[in-house]
């Protein structure tokens, strides 16, 4: 994984503070480690004016460091070349983590303008490093002689990573081709940034305003109260507002009796970026796909997917299609059965219409209640956000001995952010962990994990990481605290699994630490954590009624377990459809004009996606692949599920807090970063490669 300045745009957030400084001081706050508790970013002292000067100085500093490596008269060694490269750019890394790490949480026009101005500079700087012939000569010399250098596994892994980064960045091209590649990289950087900005603006631009209380029929009181609060915040007192943020649109789709309003809100959601307006993403997608084809072809690959897979566990697009198609063949028949059940329910109620995609959630909730006497509103009182967070902390404590101590009066970037010191069972410091869980107009959709500082060893000192989780969960209302849906509970556990991967990292080199692993391995720690979320033994630790403190009763747990595989055909089909569409885009071999709507339609028709379901992400808001780091990689969640379903088996067989299994998982997976080949790490933990049967069992497709 390339270690450098341009952090994934899918995990960006902003900081917006106001503190005047003399122009000579702008940016200098990033020039050294922060003089704060645990080295936490001093957000109250940082202004938007600091970013550009700090980036420019950071680029200058790293360029000088690269020159020093290149012009070193001594023969190349691991220390004076590979390690020096890995340690270079400290200022640039520091400002990048704060700027990009914070951009996604509270974006505005000023921050977007800074990001757009920086984009070509950072792209050019990256190319200046990875297209530097003299620097590559030193790396290549070491790589050719690696067998005689006495390197340990981790050192060779770092050397090999940088060697491949140079090759995959185009170092073997002639100078004319390199110039062309530089322009492609700049344009791709700008386009992916614009895609994300357009999506954020589209998400914020639509509001379904309800001014007739009768149109709220079917909605739970908590949903109504949240909509009233949203309307109030938009200066529409006495009305109810529903937005395209998932905690708002999803419950409306689940419970609102007014079918035409469900249709209106759902279509607004799935047409984001596809409205032929100033925020339309179709032309951007067309350019991105073609530029990726052009770049892959220049580098000697048939397709962008071939380029990506070379450094993934999957290795080839064919292997990805094989997995996706196998799962698809189980999922679609099940989805068709589910659609037939929902249609029968519609017919039984006297509905004179065919089931549509905007009906699915509404009738699924009705069917769930019929089959299992289970209504999600009955469960939500037991899932207060703070209790769920304590639940993941308690799980981490029982598994790995970790303790979480809330910090007061420490710098955070928003009043809703909370910070914790994480310590090991012996009291030693492990990490700082930030949580930021509620939607805001400037925050990107979804949930993610990243870091303000990664883990590494520096002159014998183990520099511990600063990790954060960001989400968009249901807010509190005047009547009740934040009460999470089952999907939100699972997401909180998922992102915390990523956080553990970052927090427990214990490697030597920055370029290999934490989550710097292949994309189809990075989801293993997060997805395996989901297995604990609804286990009865874990539920008893944290699922307590927000009013009475009563622990969730066994009767509800039994209903949850009985319904755990309900609607799995839909869930699997919508995900796999999106993953296959991603692969279809990125296995194109020739540049051409892509009619995005037509391409998407044909892609879904080819696999037989039923009319009642759309892909989890349509193209124009598929930020994972067009503004994040998951191009030709959305399959990774399913690939990692093969791993996580198998990885949980020792706990299923020996006990969910089995200490031997937890110790092995921590030592061989969570602490190792990218210091060894992922499959070798997995086999050290499990003793063998994963068995895919557990994925199919978990989804209820086989017994």
495 is catalytic: yes
Among 198, 325, 336, CA closest to 272: 198
CA–CA separation, 297 vs 58, rounded Å? 32
Q: What is the pLDDT of residues 107-163, one digit of tens each?
A: 778 888 999 999 999 999 999 999 999 999 999 999 999 999 999 999 999 999 999
Q: SS3 for 428? A: coil
Q: Which residues, 6 or more positions from 287, have their beta carbon under 8 angstroms from its beta carbon?
A: 187, 191
Give the pair of three-digit tokens for residue 288: 């991105």
Residues 333-347 have a mean pLDDT of: 98
Q: Are 9-130+132-168 and 380-562 equal in CATH topology?
A: yes
Beta bridge partner(s), residue 448: 470
**Is residue 6 over pLDDT 80?**
no
Q: What is the pLDDT of residues 295-323, one digit of tens each?
A: 999 999 999 999 999 999 999 999 999 99
Give the pair of three-digit tokens for residue 489: 């509970």
Domain residue spans of the chain: 9-130+132-168, 206-270, 380-562
- 682 pLDDT band, cuts 50/70/90, is very high
Q: What is the pLDDT of residues 425-444, one digit of tens each?
A: 999 999 999 999 999 888 88
CA–CA separation, 460 vs 458, rounded Å? 5
Instruction: Write down the pLDDT at residue 8.
Output: 35
**Is residue 654 over pLDDT 80?**
yes
Tell me the residue length of the chain: 703
Place of tokens 């849906």: 485
Sheet of 418-423: strands edge to edge? 403-407, 418-423, 429-436, 466-470, 448-453
Query: Which residue in the list 338, 488, 495, 574 is annotated as catalytic?
Result: 495
Q: What is the pLDDT of residues 550-568, one digit of tens each?
A: 999 999 999 999 999 999 9
Among 522, 31, 694, 594, CA closest to 290: 594
Query: Which is more confidently placed, 613 or 20?
Result: 613
Do 403 and 422 touch, CB atoms closer than 8 A?
yes
Can you say how many angstroms the Cα of residue 44 is from the centroid of all Cα atoms in its chain?
Answer: 27
Among 646, 653, 644, CA closest to 493: 644
Instruction: Write down the pLDDT at residue 642.
Output: 96
Q: Which residues, 6 or more positions from 447, have their beta carbon under 8 angstroms from its beta carbon?
A: 469, 470, 471, 472, 491, 492, 494, 495
Give the pair of three-digit tokens for residue 333: 């028949």
Give the pair of three-digit tokens for residue 525: 């720690």
Can you say how many angstroms the Cα of residue 641 is from the centroid of all Cα atoms in its chain?
Answer: 15
Place of tokens 């807010």: 475
* Cα torsion 334, 337, 343, 345: sign: negative
pTM tops 0.75: yes
At the top level of CATH, which class does the domain 9-130+132-168 belong to?
mainly alpha
CATH of domain 380-562: 1.10.1370.40
DSSP secondary structure of 512-543? GSTT-S-HHHHHHHHHHHHHHHT-HHHHHHH-
Beta bridge partner(s), residue 210: 240
């Amino acid at each position: 994984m390339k270690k450098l300045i341009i952090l994934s745009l899918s995990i960006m957030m902003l900081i917006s503070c106001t503190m005047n400084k003399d122009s000579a001081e702008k940016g200098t706050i990033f020039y050294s480690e922060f003089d704060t508790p645990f080295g936490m970013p001093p957000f109250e002292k940082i202004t938007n004016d600091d970013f550009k000067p700090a980036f420019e100085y950071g680029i200058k500093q790293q360029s000088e460091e690269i020159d020093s490596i290149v012009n070193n008269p001594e023969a190349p060694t691991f220390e004076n070349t590979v390690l020096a490269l890995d340690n270079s750019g400290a200022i640039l890394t520091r400002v990048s983590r704060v700027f990009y790490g914070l951009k996604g949480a509270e974006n505005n026009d000023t921050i977007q303008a800074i990001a757009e101005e920086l984009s070509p500079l950072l792209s050019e700087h990256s190319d200046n490093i990875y297209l530097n012939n003299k620097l590559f000569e030193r790396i290549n010399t070491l790589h050719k002689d690696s067998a005689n250098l006495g390197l340990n596994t981790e050192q060779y892994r770092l050397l090999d990573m940088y060697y491949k980064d140079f090759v995959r960045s185009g170092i073997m091209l002639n100078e004319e081709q390199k110039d062309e590649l530089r322009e492609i990289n700049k344009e791709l950087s700008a386009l992916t940034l614009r895609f994300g900005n357009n999506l954020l603006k589209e998400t914020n631009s639509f509001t379904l305003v309800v001014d007739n209380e009768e149109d709220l029929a079917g909605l739970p009181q908590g949903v109504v109260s949240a909509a009233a609060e949203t309307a109030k915040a938009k200066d529409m007192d006495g009305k109810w507002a529903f937005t395209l943020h998932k905690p708002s649109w999803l419950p409306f789709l689940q419970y609102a009796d007014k079918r035409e309003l469900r249709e209106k809100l759902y279509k607004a959601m799935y047409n984001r970026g596809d409205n032929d307006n100033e925020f339309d993403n179709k032309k951007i997608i067309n350019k991105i796909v073609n530029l990726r084809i052009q770049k892959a072809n220049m580098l000697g690959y048939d397709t962008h997917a071939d380029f990506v897979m070379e450094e993934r566990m999957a290795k080839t697009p064919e292997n990805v299609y094989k997995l996706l198609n196998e799962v698809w063949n189980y999922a679609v028949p099940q989805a068709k059965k589910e659609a037939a059940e929902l249609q029968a329910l519609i017919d039984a109620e006297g509905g004179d219409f065919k089931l549509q995609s905007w009906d699915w959630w509404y009738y699924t909730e009705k069917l769930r209640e019929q089959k299992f006497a289970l209504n999600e509103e009955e469960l939500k009182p037991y899932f207060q956000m703070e209790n769920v967070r304590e639940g993941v902390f308690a799980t981490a404590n029982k598994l790995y001995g970790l303790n979480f101590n809330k910090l007061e009066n420490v710098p955070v970037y928003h009043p809703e952010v909370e910070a914790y010191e994480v310590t090991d069972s012996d009291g030693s410091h492990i990490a700082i962990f930030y949580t930021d869980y509620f939607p805001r107009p400037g925050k990107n959709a979804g949930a993610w994990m990243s870091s303000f500082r990664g883990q590494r060893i520096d002159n014998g000192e183990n520099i511990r990481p600063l990790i954060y989780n960001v989400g968009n969960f249901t807010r509190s209302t005047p009547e009740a605290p934040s009460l999470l849906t089952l999907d939100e509970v699972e997401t909180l556990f998922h992102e915390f699994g990523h956080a553990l991967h970052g927090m427990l990292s214990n490697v030597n080199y920055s370029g290999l630490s934490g989550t710097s692993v292949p994309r189809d391995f990075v989801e293993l720690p997060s997805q395996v954590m989901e297995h604990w979320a609804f286990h009865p033994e874990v539920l008893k630790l944290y699922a307590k009624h927000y009013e009475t403190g009563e622990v969730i009763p066994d009767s509800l747990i039994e209903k949850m377990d009985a319904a755990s595989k309900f609607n799995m055909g839909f869930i699997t089909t919508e995900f796999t459809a999106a993953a296959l569409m991603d692969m279809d885009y990125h296995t194109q071999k020739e540049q051409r004009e892509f009619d995005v709507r037509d391409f998407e339609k044909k892609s879904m028709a080819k696999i037989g996606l039923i009319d009642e379901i759309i892909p989890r992400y349509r193209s124009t808001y598929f930020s994972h692949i067009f503004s994040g780091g998951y191009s030709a990689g959305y399959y990774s969640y399913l690939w990692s599920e093969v791993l996580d379903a198998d990885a949980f088996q020792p706990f299923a067989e020996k006990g969910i807090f089995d200490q031997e299994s937890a110790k092995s998982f921590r030592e061989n997976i969570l602490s190792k970063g990218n210091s060894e080949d992922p499959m070798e790490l997995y086999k050290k933990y499990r003793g063998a490669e994963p068995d895919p049967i557990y994925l199919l069992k978990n989804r209820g497709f086989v017994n």
